[in-house]
Structure 1
Amino acid sequence: MNAREPTAGQRALARALAMEPADEPGAIANVDAAAYTEPARFAAEQAAIFARVPLVIAPSALLPEHNMAVPHDGFGKPLLLTRDGDGTAHVFLNVCRHRGTRLVEGSDVVRAPQLVCPYHAWSYGTDGALAGVPRGDTFPGLCKADLGLRELRCVEAGGLIWFAFDEGADFADAHMLARDFEAFDLAGQHCFRRRTHDVRANWKLVMDAFLESYHVARLHAGTIGRFLRDGVARADAIGPHQRSAVGRAAAGEALASSDWAVLRAAITFTYQLFPGTILVVSPDYINLMILMPQAHDRVLVEDFMLIPQAPATDKALAHWERSWEFLDGGVFAAEDFRAAELGQQGLASGAIERTVLGTLESGIRRFHDAVEAQLAR
């Protein structure tokens, strides 16, 4: 398949959007408030979900060159994401095998063929192999081959890098979803900006916001709401993941077009990757948001803005900067994340026992069903 052709699933969503009215049939559903407010529930989710299933850690574009590395602390353990000299991505524990010191500090991308421990200068290649031990004569019988960095299972597919804490995790979905992402050339994008937001809300409240179109014309009335058509949305499921499409205000007959460029301009595709990753595909750029739950009422959200190529002129740079601040700061942070925080405050008060979901919010119930299914395993 040509990398720039839509998949059958993407075409099907587009055809469904063109068949108005797009309201989904169904009935009112509910989610218990306790799903968002109980610390014990949060602990169970960490053990049954985040410690077991594959998680997206970054876009491939974060490490565009060989011999690069970036520390990552969002999932509760010090991790180190690298791309080695052969171009293969790895996820290691960011811990020197000598005395347990954190190997790489900070959160910035590092370009270096070797990573040197700040304590005793043991050095490692970006493939995790122990490369150097100062005063090796004082470690008689030491086998460097046995002391490489501790590696976690990792798969790079379709422009995303996935990892899992559980050695038995199944990465089949990563390869299946990659076919959709190849249509957007996700792997060929340039990482323009990244920012981590500290959101004082349960992680599922943030996911909920990207699983329904009901709020778009209301919460986003002064920003993106004017570009998208109220209630003109369709969604389907890919295993525990969801794929949705919202028609843009000027779409019209373009929704039924067979031309991929025309179709992309007419539709905003969003992928909700279980458990906590959101991919929003706008006509000319892509936002990847990775949710990293910290407590029952706190989640870190790392937002990446991916664009077709690095800006070549000051005018292009200014254009992308405006787009970045508009969406990351003005829409996601000021509207979606703020709404999640307000929801957390309200649910924590005990005022309601359950939320009420209309037919435009059915994706939320499907997501919570997937959470419940994983908890029951």
Structure 2
Amino acid sequence: MGESVTHVAASVYTDEARFAAEQAALFAHLPQVIAPSALLPRPNMAVPHDGFGLPLLVSRDKAGKAHVFYNVCRHRGTRLLEGGEALCAPRIVCPYHAWAYALDGTLAAVPRADTFPGLDKADMHLVELPSIEAGGLIWFARCPSADFSDAASLAAEFDAFGLSGHHLYRRRVHDVASNWKLIMDAFLESYHVQRLHSSSIGKFFADGVTAADRIGPHQRSAVGRADYLAKIAPDDWPALRAAITFAYQLFPATVIVVSPDYVNVMVLMPQAVGRTLVENFMLIPEPPATPEDELHWEKSWTLLDEGTFGGEDFRAAALGQQGLSSGAIAEVTLGTLETGVYEFHAQVDAALSPARKK
């Protein structure tokens, strides 16, 4: 909880030059989450990924190691996989000339190899981007010198929730008419919960009962549920998990919401100053075993993805973008329950500062 009212300039959400600077300083250089590990639950799986404006391929090889490659054949530059669904196979075959790649990126086969005299298949590995899998999350970076130490240090946080052992129930990409930071803002304060979410989840939470702190540039928070907190001992982990929703805001643009019985991982992918793709992954402890299980998780998915997130948080961000783009106000005003928003923008400013000095 902050001590005073703070402000953020409205232009940080609407200025094209600011957006370009963020793309160059943050998204082109810093590691970011591309997907939870549960997207690839078995060896020899691959999923095409275009959300960051690049043709990418997330794979898990036969040894179980995760990779992020360019989804581009080394022969003639053809895109290898289309769509967004997972391929379950030991090889990826180019649709043009059928060059085949193993899921670790090695070139496995070339039709009519005799017509490529002197070609060494070992030199034709798919182009790989730096990545790490830690704590049930797959991180990648576009910059060859990216520092993944934060990803490794955060792994213990997510291991405590058993994230790497969760099952992917469903995923969906939302196209939100909003600057990416307005979406992040929604998960950096609980002031809105009982108001914006009054018809969905608001009734489950105690107003203003939130604890939050920072881990480097990242933030984490715990929001209490009504009528439970006073009865719980601080060291009773199962009881805390049942009564508290934990949220992580991984810098620059990933949100993880740990509810009592499921987890939402939301990856934000800025497309333009006023447009952001958000991929929402819902993870559950294990696959549904009965029709009753399926009904339960379907209800939870609908409540969160279509209601709380899609119908309320993302809608509020889009409405905010409309208002701020009008120029009616020069700055956003933040109360003492919204200090996390101010802290987040301070981290963005700090990340931009070196770029602005060059």
Q: TM-score range by the shorter chain?
A: over 0.9
Describe how 1:218-229 pairs up with structure 2 within 5 A.
218-229=195-206
For 1:5, the equivalent position in structure 2 comes to: none
Is 1:321 matched with 2:281?
Answer: no
* 1:144 aligned partner: 121
Q: 2:310 aligns with which of 304, 328, 333?
A: 333
Structure 2 equivalent of residue 96 of structure 1? 73
Q: Which residue of 2 aligns with 1:57?
A: 34
For residue 260 of structure 1, report the CA deviation from its aligned partner.
1.0
Question: Of 141, 151, 154, which residue of structure 1 is paired with 2:131?
Answer: 154
1:256 deviation in Å?
3.4
Displacement after TM superposition at 1:257 (Å)? 3.5
Within 5 A, what are the aligned runs for 1:157-172? 157-172=134-149
For residues 191-202 of structure 1, what are the structure 2 equivalents within 5 Å? 191-202=168-179
Aligned to 1:278: 255
CA contact (8 A) 2:171 2:280 kept: yes
| Contact 1:254/1:262 (8 A) holds in 2 | no
Separation in structure 2 between the aligned mates of residue 255 and residue 149 of structure 1, nearest angstrom: 52
Partner of 2:50: 73
TM-score w.r.t. structure 2 length?
0.98
2:194–2:205 CA contact under 8 A, matched in 1: yes
Partner residue, 2:282:
305
Alignment-derived partner of residue 233 in structure 1: 210
Q: Distance in 1 between matches of 2:155 and 2:74?
A: 34
- Identify the range of structure 1 (158-167 vs 251-260) with the bigger mean alpha-carbon deviation: 251-260
Task: Select the residue among 94, 106, 112 that pairs with 2:89.
Answer: 112
Residue matched to 2:353: 376
Match of 2:267 among 290, 299, 310: 290
Tell me the CA shift for residue 194 of structure 1: 0.2
Say whether residues 1:211 and 2:188 are aligned partners: yes
Contact 1:228 1:249 in 2 (8 A): yes
Contact 1:36 1:204 survives alignment (8 Å): yes
Partner of 2:7: 30
Q: TM-score, normalised by structure 1?
A: 0.93
Find the aligned partners of 2:231 and 2:151 in 1 and give their Cα distance.
30
Post-superposition CA distance 1:44-87 (Å, at most 9, x none)? 10000000000100000110100000000011110000000000
Cα distance in 2, alignment partners of residues 229 and 256 from structure 1: 17
List alignment gaps of at least 5 residues for structure 1: 1-23
Deviations 1:28-58 (A, max 9, x none): 1111011000111111100000000001000
Q: Between 37-46 and 257-266, report the one with greater CA deviation.
A: 257-266
Residues 256-271 of structure 1: pairs in structure 2 closer than 5 A: 256-271=233-248
Two-structure CA RMSD over aligned residues (Å): 0.7
Sequence identity percentage: 64
Offset of residue 26 of structure 1: 1.1
Is contact 2:176-2:276 (8 Å) kept?
yes
Structure 1 runs of 4+ aligned residues shifted over 2 Å read 252-257
Counting matched residue pairs gives 354
Cα-to-partner distance string for 1:117-175 (whole Å, 9 max, x where unaligned):
00010000000000111011111111110011000011000000000000111101111
Matched residue, 1:39: 16
For the residues of structure 2 that align with 1:130 and 1:265, how far apart are their CA atoms?
48
1-structure distance, mates of 2:346, 2:153: 21
- What amino acid maps onto 2:301 in structure 1? W
Question: In structure 2, what is the Cα distance between the partners aligned to 1:198 and 1:272?
Answer: 20
Q: Which residue of structure 2 lines up, in the alignment, with residue 21 of structure 1?
A: none
Which region of structure 1 is more displaced relative to structure 2, 254-263 or 25-34? 254-263
**Matching of residue 176 in structure 1 with residue 165 in structure 2:** no
Give the secondary structure class of the aligned counterpart of 1:376: helix
What stretches of structure 2 of length at least 5 have no aligned partner?
none
Contact 1:153 1:164 (8 Å CA) reproduced: yes
Contact 1:247 1:255 in 2 (8 A): no
**CA pair 204-311 structure 1, distance change in 2 beyond 3 A:** same
Q: CA separation in 1, counterparts of 2:86 and 2:132?
A: 19
The answer on whether the counterparts of 1:254 and 1:266 sit within 8 Å (CA) in structure 2 is no
- Partner of 2:109 in structure 1? 132
CA drift at 1:255: 4.4
Which piece of structure 1 moves more, 194-203 or 245-254? Answer: 245-254
Seen in structure 2, the aligned counterparts of structure 1 residues 236 and 28 have a Cα distance that, compared at 3 Å, is: same
Deviation at 1:266, TM superposition (A): 1.3
Contact persistence 2:2–2:338 (CA under 8 A): no
| Kept after mapping to 2: 8 A contact 1:227/1:250 | no
Give the Cα–Cα distance (whole angstroms) in 1 for the partners of residues 232 and 124 of structure 2.
56
Q: Which amino acid in 1 is paired with 2:251?
A: F
CA distance in 2, matches of 1:223, 1:274: 27
Question: Structure 1 residues 233 and 330 mapped into 2: Cα distance closer, same or farther (>3 Å)?
Answer: same
Q: 1:280 to 1:99 in 2, by over 3 A?
A: same
Could you tell me which amino acid in structure 1 is paired with residue 127 of structure 2?
Answer: R
- 2:86 and 2:166 mapped to 1: Cα distance? 17
